[in-house]
Copies of this chain bind each other. A is one copy, B any other.
Amino acid sequence: MAKHDTDLSALFHALADPTRRQILTRLAAGPAPVSDLAEPTGLRLPTVMRHLSVLEEAGLIASSKDGRVRTCAIVPEALQPMQAWLAEQRRIWEQRLDRLDAYVKTLMEEKPE
């Protein structure tokens, strides 16, 4: 599979955790040091550190240390690959929507589980 597949996996995986999405939302309000990010999660620093490195490896955040304080910030372009994937899928999926719509409903009525 192509390289951007790896990117997508890392991206989706990073976003699959509520704590990490919480951190991102917090960072949307502006850059913040690690401790500030940790506080509202109720988790310990080392745990948050790992969430941060997952986010950073996925390219969703960038960070830099000034003195003993590490400041983190979101990287807005990071969502782009996902945006692209989503747009492509919706394009394909919706081409078949009419055909599928009734069909899927039939499936779900026949056998909900």
Write the nearest CB–CB distance from A34 to chain B, whole angstroms.
14
A93 touches B76 (CB 8 A): yes
Nearest CB in chain B to that of A82: its residue: B86
Number of interface residues of A (CB under 8 A): 46
Interface string of A3-14 (1 = CB under 8 A from B): 001001100110
Q: Does A21 contact B (CB under 8 A)?
A: yes
Which residues from chain A sit less than 8 Å from chain B, CB to CB?
1, 5, 8-9, 12-13, 15-18, 21-22, 24-25, 28, 30-31, 62-65, 71, 73-76, 79, 82-83, 86, 89-90, 92-94, 96-97, 99-100, 103-104, 106-108, 110-111
